[in-house]
Structure 1
Amino acid sequence: MDIIGDRTLRSLFEEKVSLHPDKVFIAFEDAQGSQTTKTYREFYDEVLKLSNALLDLEVHAGDHVTIHLPNNIEFLTTWFALAHIGAIMVPTNILSSSDEMNYIINHSESVLLITEEDHVEKFQGMLDQLPTIRHIVLTRFKNHSTTLLNFDHIIENASTDTSRFPKVLTEDVVGMLYTSGTTSKPKGVQVTNANYIFTGELMSKSIQVTEEDRMFIVLPLFHGNAQYYSTMTALVTGGSIALTEKFSASRYFKQAKLLGATVGSLFAAPLRMILAKDYDTSVQENPIRLIMFAQSIAEHQLNEFENKFDVKLLQLYGMTETVGIPLLNPLNGVRKNLSIGRPSIGYEVKLIDEDGSDVEQGAVGQIAVKGIPGRTVMKRYFKNEEATRETLQDGWLLTGDNARVGEDGYFYFVDRVKDMIKRSGENVAAQEVESVLTQHLAVFESAVIGVPDDMRDEAIKAYVILNKGMSVTEEALITFCKARLAKFKVPDSIEFVAEFPRTPVGKIQKHILRNSLSIK
């Protein structure tokens, strides 16, 4: 037996409620600044009521239910209620368009949609195109409707009886997270009870979370980061969650203090946004001891953040498909936050070339993660056997990300395989160029892409956001790069912009930058 055993989200929650019935499990701040708390017992009673209400709505084990909600307590209640009856949540981005939601709902064959009044309009015009949807349930709904169900009303008089619940197994799928599609339709990543529990165990032990900790969730709950690394870590340890409806760069540490948060999780873009705000020395007195983060950030920004806010930063690497974190910097060892760390508990990681062979020390290769489908890595892609075979090969998950291993044994992210630029026969990693650009004190952030070039296959184009109140010319930045990069890696052109197109967790959407060029 491994560390997961035969546990499920249902059995795990039952255990924690028996141990900590009166302990606060969730401290929530909504978009208006109102705060609510739920103890383990209060939250669990609502989960049981919603589980029975869902059964009354004929949601069965194996059914998919689309959750289209901002961060709120009802999102968490729905996730765990579905897991209790063996159904599968399909969490989605509230910024998704009608067309995007049409695809996800139909592809997942969802039988129920849970959303809010602010978002219901995008669905009402296409209900005839959603043949599997039987009901729409609205959370935090104050008005009357004859066609839409009220979340509060359906659980108000529901039972907490568990005798109707079906048997659930550790490797049953309980979540399906859609990856953002840039060159193809989004893929549904199937996540099991075992996957979620493994991640909670891995993270709690790697960053030493205890039942006294409160995980700070400001990233969207529909994303794997908030589910895997924060929610599950809190639950496995019997800790708690500080949840905000929206991320606020100016209020991040103030919210942490108000909600009693101790461990945060961010991406590079939110870190930069916090740094860009006017500094208040009082925020040094905050309860956050550690912030996990992903994606590249300049060394001077890392140092400035840690010094200003008196907090440890810990870069890691993971993706929706790996579920857990296969690479991270050691909490008590040497933190090299320009790297993505070393292999973590329960994983083996290697770098391979295009033929699948291991690369030599120091060479660039694709990150491959050894794992067990449905336990330590995703189970599969839903209704996509071809993509599953391409990603899961002989016990290894191929990530599509390139890295190199330094002489120090740490892994250094290079780029997405698809983002490598081919220039005059040479491979150029966009992130290497971006790293140099952000070393310039006038540069806040950069994004580098390859653009078609008749002579050199691809030319290198950089987009740059400048720091507030600072200026620099294109020529000066190119000269700066020439002093720090090989000639073939120097940008051919630089365009200054006010902002980048981003995903909800702050990743730059380079495909949109490329498409905008092709349209011009």
Structure 2
Amino acid sequence: MDCIWRRHYDPEVPAEVDIPDVTLPELLYRSASDFPDNPAIIFLGHTLSYRRLKQSVWQAAAGLARLGFKPGQRLAMILPNCPQTVITYYATLHLGGIIVMLNPLAAPREILDQIQRTEADTVVALDHVAPKVEEVRKALNLKHLIIASLADYLPVPWKWLYNFRARRKGQQVGPRPGTGQMSFQDLLTDHAPPALAASSSDVAILQHTGGTTGLPKAAALTHRNLVSNVAQINAWLPHCQRGGERVLAVLPYFHVFGMTASMNWPINLAGAILLLPRFDAAQVLKTIHQRRPTVFPAAPTIFIALINHPHLRRYDLSSLWGCISGSAPLPQDVQEQFEALTKGRIIEGYGLTETSPVTHLNPIAGKRRPGSIGLPFPNTSCRIVDAESGLIDLPPGDVGELLLRGPQVMAEYWQNPEETALALRHGWFYTGDLARMDEDGFFYIVDRKKDIIIASGYNIYPREVEEVLHQHPAVQDAVAFGVPDAYRGETVMAVVVPKPGMPVTAPDLFDFCRQRLAVYKTPKIIEFRRELPKTAVGKVLRRELRAEAEAKLKGAD
């Protein structure tokens, strides 16, 4: 397929970008050398300069080395957005280690599964999350459990208040005595760290995903993959001022979109990261008003929440000149309303965990297409092929499977050659997404070839929800799928067939799922039936159920 999309690049955007042969920590060290006194992280009133951030990374690297951490070892982080996340991330990579990002909302069963799959032997967890790790610790081969607290990077009055409220809620504060847990602050040491032990070809991140099949697996992203995506974003936004941008970081760093667009990219720019531990609409509006960010990567649900906030008009959002929207489709009315408030521009894009993640974006200055994910990045090739054979190129306008190739595409699925062979074929990454390209090279996602549910930007795999429902003693059969939700994009619905003579209620199943799944994966709607519609070979007609549910919900509106 000819790269016809390049004709619609903004004038300053090149067709190809030189990818530097460096590691992720070297991006940080270069910024610290060029702008040592610039703010790197502004976190709830506490500021770390680039000099201080680099020093903290080296202290953490020295501390991990003294614990015996070696190149190639896996370190799991179970943290929200906080300074310790950034410090641990670059310190581990400095030592040639591999990061495994886990969602702090993950249930103990999910923590166990992801740590076992990647064989991580060191964990850095938030103190409030530590009890969930302890619950499964006996089944893990952990060498070290390091406990971080948000209070460590709060100004003194806020620190006291934070700890007081946490204790009142019965939450763990800091490491628990007698458990072998170690304080993150004790990890930091003034000893000199070892020399940089990573190379650009080394795996940096193991990021969990369901991929095209829905089965949990870890995408192995190298330093080069992630550095490439940073370089591509730089090229796409050529007017960014190095050392002069302020990036609002609300997207979670355990999500690859947040990791790249809200951490690696602004650090490469020597920008100030306005770091928030979680999304709260009022806090985000206040931060924009007071701290004046210039760039805001976010998901559509965030923009929806902001434009619908009751006190929106009290805040000045005019500092934002650019917003990047990803993780789910961006409604056109939301785009128009938010742009009217900021006088800036939201550009919608597309990407996947396996592609570090961004592969497409709409032009920041040029013409956009409503409903389009935009144009492929520099150095990125795309094809639309027939969904049956996956080999025949289709003309513009026809719907087929989207294939990708570029330096941001993962190396493999970690220790999973079968799934790797399915996804990486004939030199292309098969996304599993159905798409079309118009005559000008703008791409549009039409449907998910996979049955993935995307709620608030999170990927939810129906099979995982169904497996939990099937564990309930009163459930005979169950199917899960996504239905439209005005705020979250999609939400999880389940249709359940109870076992004869074993009564069960929706609240029973809500509670059962909440104990075994992250909150965002728990079904929000449960319907009971005597049987599920199936094909002649016994396959559940998931799309038929989804269509019925959507019709009912639409009728209820």
Q: Same fold (TM over 0.5)?
A: yes
- Name the SS for the 1:304 alignment partner: helix
| Alpha-carbon offset, residue 122 of structure 1 | 1.1
| Alpha-carbon offset, residue 370 of structure 1 | 1.3
Of the three residues 137, 141, 148, the one matched with 1:139 is 148
Are the structure 2 counterparts of residues 277 and 496 from structure 1 closer, same or farther at C-alpha, using a change threshold of 3 Å? farther
Aligned ranges for residues 39-58 of structure 1 at < 5 Å? 39-58=49-68
Structure 2 residue 205 is the aligned partner of structure 1 residue 175: yes
Question: What amino acid is the match of 2:337?
Answer: E
Structure 2 residue 336 is the aligned partner of structure 1 residue 336: no
Cα deviation, 1:308-364, whole Å, max 9, x if unaligned, reads 333311000111101142211011110224210011111011111121211222111
Question: What amino acid is the match of 2:373?
Answer: I
**Is there any run of 5+ residues in structure 2 with no aligned partner, and where?**
1-15, 150-172, 453-480, 496-531
- Name the SS for the 1:361 alignment partner: coil
Cα deviation, 1:51-89, whole Å, max 9, x if unaligned, reads 010011111000000100111000000000001110011
Distance 1:383 1:15 in 2: 33
Compute the TM-score of the two structures, normalised by the length of structure 2: 0.74
- Name the SS for the 2:434 alignment partner: strand
- Name the SS for the 1:53 alignment partner: helix
The answer (yes or no) to whether the contact 2:354–2:409 under 8 Å persists in 1 is: yes
The percent identity for this pair of structures is 25
Structure 2 residue 332 is the aligned partner of structure 1 residue 299: yes
Distance 1:45 1:446 in 2: 43
Are the structure 2 counterparts of residues 459 and 143 from structure 1 closer, same or farther at C-alpha, using a change threshold of 3 Å? closer
Question: What amino acid is the match of 1:135?
Answer: H
- Name the SS for the 2:336 alignment partner: helix
Residue in 2 aligned with 1:112? 122
The answer (yes or no) to whether the contact 1:198–1:324 under 8 Å persists in 2 is: no
- Name the SS for the 2:235 alignment partner: helix
- Name the SS for the 1:321 alignment partner: helix
The answer (yes or no) to whether the contact 1:313–1:337 under 8 Å persists in 2 is: no
The answer (yes or no) to whether the contact 1:66–1:92 under 8 Å persists in 2 is: yes
Distance 2:492 2:137 in 1: 41
**Is there any run of 5+ residues in structure 1 with no aligned partner, and where?**
30-34, 421-429, 465-490, 499-520
Of the three residues 470, 493, 510, the one matched with 2:552 is 493
Structure 2 residue 23 is the aligned partner of structure 1 residue 18: no
Question: What amino acid is the match of 2:552?
Answer: S
Residue in 2 aligned with 1:392? 424
Question: What amino acid is the match of 1:187?
Answer: K
The answer (yes or no) to whether the contact 2:373–2:445 under 8 Å persists in 1 is: yes
Distance 1:376 1:444 in 2: 28
The answer (yes or no) to whether the contact 2:148–2:184 under 8 Å persists in 1 is: yes
Distance 1:463 1:446 in 2: 15
Are the structure 2 counterparts of residues 166 and 269 from structure 1 closer, same or farther at C-alpha, using a change threshold of 3 Å? closer
- Name the SS for the 1:402 alignment partner: strand
Are the structure 2 counterparts of residues 311 and 337 from structure 1 closer, same or farther at C-alpha, using a change threshold of 3 Å? farther
Cα deviation, 1:148-207, whole Å, max 9, x if unaligned, reads 10110221x431x24x33532111111111115897542111111111211111112212
Of the three residues 353, 366, 387, the one matched with 1:320 is 353
Residue in 1 aligned with 2:297? 265
Cα deviation, 1:225-244, whole Å, max 9, x if unaligned, reads 11112212212222221110
| Alpha-carbon offset, residue 290 of structure 1 | 1.2
Of the three residues 349, 362, 365, the one matched with 2:400 is 365
The answer (yes or no) to whether the contact 1:115–1:138 under 8 Å persists in 2 is: yes
Aligned ranges for residues 48-87 of structure 1 at < 5 Å? 48-87=58-97
The answer (yes or no) to whether the contact 1:214–1:262 under 8 Å persists in 2 is: yes
- Name the SS for the 1:414 alignment partner: strand
The answer (yes or no) to whether the contact 1:404–1:413 under 8 Å persists in 2 is: yes
- Name the SS for the 1:89 alignment partner: strand
- Name the SS for the 1:418 alignment partner: coil
Are the structure 2 counterparts of residues 184 and 333 from structure 1 closer, same or farther at C-alpha, using a change threshold of 3 Å? closer
Distance 2:122 2:82 in 1: 18
Structure 2 residue 23 is the aligned partner of structure 1 residue 8: yes
More deviation in 294-303 or 389-398? 294-303
Residue in 2 aligned with 1:210? 241
Of the three residues 205, 226, 231, the one matched with 2:263 is 231
Cα deviation, 1:32-67, whole Å, max 9, x if unaligned, reads xxx111001101101001001001111100000010
| Alpha-carbon offset, residue 258 of structure 1 | 2.8
Are the structure 2 counterparts of residues 285 and 103 from structure 1 closer, same or farther at C-alpha, using a change threshold of 3 Å? closer
| Alpha-carbon offset, residue 492 of structure 1 | 4.4
The answer (yes or no) to whether the contact 2:296–2:324 under 8 Å persists in 1 is: yes
| Alpha-carbon offset, residue 302 of structure 1 | 2.1
Higher relative contact order (CA 8 A, sep 6+): 2
| Alpha-carbon offset, residue 448 of structure 1 | 10
- Name the SS for the 2:48 alignment partner: strand
Aligned ranges for residues 113-512 of structure 1 at < 5 Å? 113-131=123-141, 133-140=142-149, 142=174, 145-146=177-178, 147-155=180-188, 157-159=189-191, 161-162=192-193, 164-165=194-195, 167-180=197-210, 184-208=214-238, 209-211=240-242, 212-294=244-326, 295-353=328-386, 354-356=388-390, 357-371=392-406, 375-419=407-451, 453=533, 458-459=543-544, 461=546, 492-494=551-553
The answer (yes or no) to whether the contact 1:449–1:462 under 8 Å persists in 2 is: no
| Alpha-carbon offset, residue 144 of structure 1 | 5.8
The answer (yes or no) to whether the contact 2:382–2:405 under 8 Å persists in 1 is: yes
- Name the SS for the 2:445 alignment partner: strand
Are the structure 2 counterparts of residues 364 and 182 from structure 1 closer, same or farther at C-alpha, using a change threshold of 3 Å? closer
Provide the aligned length of Structure 1 versus Structure 2.
445
The answer (yes or no) to whether the contact 1:326–1:347 under 8 Å persists in 2 is: yes
Question: What amino acid is the match of 1:232?
Answer: N
